[in-house]
Amino acid sequence: MTHATTPDSAVDPTTVDPSGAGPARSAPDRPARRSTLVTRTWAQRQAKVGVVLTALIVLIAVIGPLLLPWATGYTATGFADRPFQDTGLFGTDNLGRDVLSRFLAGGTSLLLYSVLATALGLFLGMLFGMVAAYIGGWLDALIMRSNDVLLAIPQLVFALLAITVLGPQPWVLVAVIAITHAPRIARVTRAATLDVIGEDYIRAAEMYAVPRRRILFREVLPNITGPLAVEAGLRLTYSIGAIASLSFLGLGMQPPAADWGLMINENRIALSLQPWGVMLPVLAIAVLTIGTNLIADSIARASASANVGEK
Amino acid sequence: MIVQLIIRRLAISLVILLAISVLVFGATLLLPGDPALAILGQQATPERIQALHEQMHLDDPAWSRYLSWLGGLFTGDLGTSVASGQPVAELVGERARASVVLMIAAALISVPAGIALGIWSALRRGRTVDSAITGISLVLAALPEFVIGIALVALFATTVFSILPAVTMAPPGTQPWDFPAQLILPIAVLVLVVTPYIARMMRATMLEVLDSGYVEMARLKGVPERRVILRHALPHAIGPVAQVVAIQLAWMAGGVVVVEYLFRYPGLGQALIDAVNYRDVQVVQAVTMIVAVIYIVVNLLADIVGILANPKLRTGGDR
């Protein structure tokens, strides 16, 4: 889970538009450039496969809870005295609850918290990375050295430390996963920003005394979307893995919640007796992470080829 | 020159480790409520709470507790587990050994395998073998380790073939490695998770090196292909790959937690999960520090390999 960036994202894919844009022209240019990264990504077969796989699981996670005619949380309609029956399409779980309905209800939490953790991590990392690169000096040194410290604790171990102290609440999971992502994203952002801030349009904006915040968000940010998009895809994959793993360890979502990671934990003792309680969520998590990783890899390739084309 | 660089890296590692210790200790200050009350329960008498306060030095200021905790880390005194009353060092020591066995075994398989697969893939660029290796590593790299683990358990231990044990069972007095069959699946999971990253990086670096002038030169002057790869290309690819190998091995220090939990392997990770469940802060702190030390030492070794493998530094050129 706690992996460094892949070789692909280590390439430094500055998607700087050589036609250059002054402060006034940067906004109209943005949609055109973005769509080229998107089209280059979409042109790859693996991206299409990734989108289909991801969409399938997202659909289950989003629509699943609406399809529920069965109880998911409690044993009211189940067979608590007779667990692991093969009643229903996929049988019942360790407490006699219907596996299919728990599966349909169990994706929402994983998806929601992974997306939140990724978004928060991306925001923090982006902010610190841009500030470190743009302001430089001691602030840069402080931010990057703090990064080194955070990077020296494996993501999962860091999460476990936080959970010990603060308890397994959803916000703790989201915050801690975001904090472990942030240093990695900050590094990438900083490198990309350093490439951009030497450009003439940034100097021009500085000469016009455009406020720093405006330069960062209006001039720098649109020009580092390539590497950030690559990071977003990768970090989403790792967030899903991390949150599912924590739930699997019994330290994420707590019973009686219906959650894929927790389901695997609850039902794995009966893997040979009633495999569906484990296999359905395992398959869903596998398909989802493979899908998001394929998309991330496609974005990385598209972003790298943009670079080559420019040079 | 090289010695200076290595000393510099060593110093940086020590500073980072110190900062981590502050972070790990500081986390416990966030713990709500009175730790003594948490240990003794709501029915504890004020006298007993007071006694425990004195025993754990809870009334001392935070910095003095930090210093004595840090001093304890150096002398092997890791505190006392509140859940079991055992000294943490005793609790953790044997389990650390069990985890290290698992990690070293996985490293001994995955590092050569990853490097070999990466080179093979690079030499067959664009062919079926290359796309197969690239595709499989992309899929494996995406999967959380417990998903791979459960797939292996379903395949080899329960549903499909029942040929390997699904859980580790070491009777008291025996060590997990007395039963090699039980180690196969946990090691296999770690290998499957780590190898793809090494193979990918090896492939990328090797492709770069194979396109370089000196490899072309070696080929043009008629050096046998085998020698071109082993003597001309490989040494240049080792530096960057050492970094990725280090990141992966260091990652294992965290990934082993999930694998041990899945297979009930009596290692450090399992101890960590138990401690988190009991909110046994002393144990969590100790394990986190041990893992951080492993992580930093491995990274340091990789940096040293990188420094030694860099011909520019070897000849005293500028950095």
Closest CA to B123 of B243, B211, B214: B211
For range B187-196, the mean pLDDT:
91
Radius of gyration of chain B (CA): 24
- Closest residue on chain A to B199 (Cα): A7
Nearest Cα neighbor of A213 from A141, A119, A123, A131 is A131
Give the pLDDT band (50/70/90) at residue A279: confident
CB nearest to A153's CB, from B201, B288, B299: B288
In B, residues 237-276, which contact A (CB 8 Å cutoff)?
244, 247-248, 250-251, 253-255, 257-258, 261, 272-273, 275-276
Q: Give the pLDDT mean for A136-149.
A: 87
| Phi, psi dihedral angles at A92 (to 5 degrees) | -115, 165
* pLDDT tens digits for range A202-219: 888 888 888 888 888 888
Confidence (pTM): 0.83
The per-residue pLDDT for range A168-194, each reduced to its tens digit, is 888 999 999 999 999 999 998 988 888
More confident residue, B148 or A271: B148
Please say whether the beta carbons of A208 and A168 come within 8 A.
Answer: no
> Phi and psi (nearest 5°) for B90?
-65, -45
Q: Which residues contact A120 (CB under 8 A, 6 or more apart)?
A: A174, A175, A178
Record: contact B147-A294, CB cut-off 8 A: no
Predicted local confidence at residue B311, as pLDDT: 65
Residue A63, pLDDT > 70, answer: yes
A166 contact residues in B (CB cutoff 8 A)? 30
CB B185 within 8 A of CB B263: yes
The average confidence (pLDDT) of chain B is 81
Map out the domains of chain B with their CATH numbers.
2-12+93-315 (1.10.3720.10)
Residues 100-139 (B) with a CB less than 8 A from some CB of A: 138-139
Q: How confident is the model at residue B159 (pLDDT cuts 50, 70, 90)?
A: low
Question: Of the segments B139-153, B210-224, B281-295, which one has the largest average pLDDT value?
Answer: B139-153
Residue B44 has pLDDT above 80, yes or no: no
- Cα of B235 vs its chain's centroid, Å: 25
pLDDT tens digit string along B50-78?
A: 877 777 777 777 788 888 888 887 777 77
Residue A17: CB atoms within 10 A of its CB come to: 19
For helices B234-263 and B145-152, what crossing angle results, to 10°?
Answer: 70
Please choose, from the candidates A199, A190, A180, A177, the residue with its C-alpha nearest in 3D space to the C-alpha of residue A141: A190
Asked whether the beta carbons of residue A278 and residue B150 sit closer than 8 angstroms, the reply is yes
Alpha helices in chain A (DSSP H): 7-10, 26-42, 45-63, 99-105, 107-135, 137-151, 155-166, 170-196, 200-207, 212-214, 225-248, 260-267, 276-310
A278 and B154 within 8 Å at the Cβ level: the answer is yes
CB B171 within 8 A of CB B84: no
Mean pLDDT value across residues B187-201: 90
Spatial separation of the C-alpha atoms in residues B62 and A121, rounded to whole Å: 30
**Number of Cβ within a 10 Å radius of residue A81:** 8
User: From CA A220, how far away is CA B310, in angstroms rounded?
Assistant: 34
Confidence (pLDDT) at A35 = 56
Determine, for residues B277 and A156 on separate chains, whether the beta-carbon distance falls below 8 Å.
no
Phi, psi at residue B80, to the nearest 5°?
-120, 135
pLDDT at A115: 95
Give the separation between CA B103 and CA B256, rounded to whole angstroms.
Answer: 8
